[in-house]
Amino acid sequence: MANLKTHLVLNMKDVVIVKPSKPTPSELLSLSTIDSDPVLNILCQTIYVYKANLDSPNDQLDPVNVIKEALSKALVYYYPLAGKIVTFDDGKLGINCNADGVPFLEATADCELSSLHYLEGIDVPTAQKLVFDNPNSQDEASDHPLVFKVTKFLCGGCTLGMGLSHSVCDGFGASQFFRALAELACGKSEPSVKPVWERERLMGTLLKEPLQFPIDEASRAVSPFWPTKEISHECFNLNGKSIQRLKMELMKESDDVKESFTTVEALGAYVWRSRARALELSSDGKTMLCLAVGVRHLLDPPLPEGYYGNAFVGSNVVLTVKELDENPLSEVVKLIKESKKLPSSNEYIRNTINMLETMRQRNIRVEGTCASVVLTDWRQLSLMEEVDFGWKASVNIVPVPWNILGYVDLCLFLPPSNLDPSMKGGVRVFVSLPKASMPKFREEMEALKLMRGDEGSTQQ
């Protein structure tokens, strides 16, 4: 994020609790083994940015009322989101479906959205004002699985800050809920996709044999910049041309005319290498790229449409830092391509779930180390183009940094905002790194934009 320092003053109303509009089942539901992964027990805050609806100035609907009403209807279907997250005696997570309701905050801003560039390049402290009481430490994570904050701006536009527990939904599940909310806001009588719970489908069992981790502590690469409390969060815009040039370069380098690389494979490899360089990881140590792969359709039988829990596993590639830095990048891309096939085996998925269950029962926690990068691709969630609350699709989506793995191991690929036509087909790369390593990472990202078909120019 280009850190545009802005003085944003908000006038806040009192918190209201939005309850389901009809009676809902009162029950205690278990979350799955993937859901119960302690790493996911955080509130993921995302801001959706909407311009004013100028098509009907006489009929300006108050976004607060529209969303509140739609939320109340949506909670009839997604009633667990109106409950509270609980921890059972065995440490597993569940939801007490008690229709307690969703905390909802309304605010008005003293400026127009355009003065904040529709949140493009917004600094983190300003972004945090637009979500509901963003808890900074994991211990304070709210036991409400869902919170909302709607902020109205002088221009008539608004932002919708949604905080959703990652223990209850993954990105796919969150976008399914968000779509349902928009459909109900636009007058549909029910969501087109009905939510399905069925978390028991993804329960793991304790493994007898010792756990094998992709990297052990002794061989893990270390960075002189980690650990640190000083973390920078930035979002890098890469247009379609830059990505196309990178792919052409990789195809040329791999000498295989038939070879084709996806954006995730090509850009994932480039970001992984750039990050290792920026962090000055120890060259003989090991580093890992973990790609989050959705398994809804890969499971046999597949999960039902409407399943909104966490349904992803990691496909991992492990290299020494020296290999990552010195091997042709096309070789790294091929390894990533190959690793994506792993989750298509049911055995791999089951083993991953059993491993998570074993780690949970043995209280083995994964911490952020800078040696790994966990890559999540949000571009497939169609959140920018399809979700309309009655005032056209959002022009921007901004994640507020989540404290997963100490922030530093998470990398998001986001769809470009709808503000800059030249970004069509591009990607926004969202990273959190130790402050001291960000200038070098920025340099690597700039080199990618300047790439002219001669990869040599970006080698440093």
117 φψ region: left (φ > 0), alpha (ψ -120 to 50), beta (else): left
Where residue 424 falls among pLDDT bands split at 50, 70, 90? Answer: confident
Whole-structure pTM value: 0.91
Tell me which CATH code domain 10-193 carries: 3.30.559.10
Q: pLDDT value at position 60?
A: 62
Place 444 in a pLDDT band, splitting at 50, 70 and 90. very high
Q: Say if residues 298 and 287 touch (Cβ distance below 8 Å).
A: no
Position 139 scores a pLDDT of 40
The distance from CA 47 to its chain's CA centroid, rounded to whole angstroms, is 12
Return d(Cα 175, Cα 306) in angstroms, integer.
11
**The residue type at 304:** P
CB 419 within 8 A of CB 49: no
Q: What is the pLDDT of residue 384?
A: 63
Q: Count of alpha carbons within 13 Å of 450, Cβ hemisphere only?
A: 10
Domain ranges of the chain: 10-193, 217-382+395-458
**Are 73 and 186 a contacting pair, CB within 8 Å?**
no
pLDDT-derived band at 383, boundaries 50, 70, 90: low
Segment 202-213 mean pLDDT: 91
Range with the lowest mean pLDDT among 137-141, 176-180, 320-324, 431-435?
Answer: 137-141
What are the residue numbers of the active site?
Answer: 166, 388
Mention the CATH class of domain 217-382+395-458: alpha beta
Average pLDDT of the residues of the chain: 90
Tens digit of pLDDT for each residue in 222-270? Answer: 999 999 999 999 999 999 999 999 999 999 998 776 778 999 999 999 9
pLDDT tens sequence across 315-331: 999 999 999 999 999 99
Give yes or no on whether 10-193 and 217-382+395-458 have one common fold. Answer: yes
Tell me the C-alpha to C-alpha distance, in Å, between residue 248 and each of 50, 145, 261, 269. 36, 44, 9, 14
Specify the 3-state DSSP secondary structure of 249: helix
- Output the six-digit token pair for 304: 């039902």
393 secondary structure, DSSP code: B
User: Does the pLDDT of residue 28 top 80, yes or no?
Assistant: yes
Helices and strands per DSSP (H, E), number in the chain? 9, 16
Number of Cβ atoms within 10 Å of the Cβ of 179 = 20
Dmax over CA atoms of the chain, in Å, equals 68
Q: Note the pLDDT of residue 56.
A: 56
| 205 pLDDT more than 90 | yes
Using an 8 Å Cβ cutoff, are 293 and 314 in contact? yes
Q: What angle do CA 66, 68, 70 make, to 5 degrees?
A: 65
Dump pLDDT digits (tens) for 153-166: 999 999 999 999 99
Task: Tokens for 157, please give them.
Answer: 């536009």
* pLDDT exceeds cutoff 60 at 134: no
Q: Residue 209 pLDDT > 90, yes or no? A: no
Answer yes or no: are the C-beta atoms of 123 and 81 closer than 8 Å: no
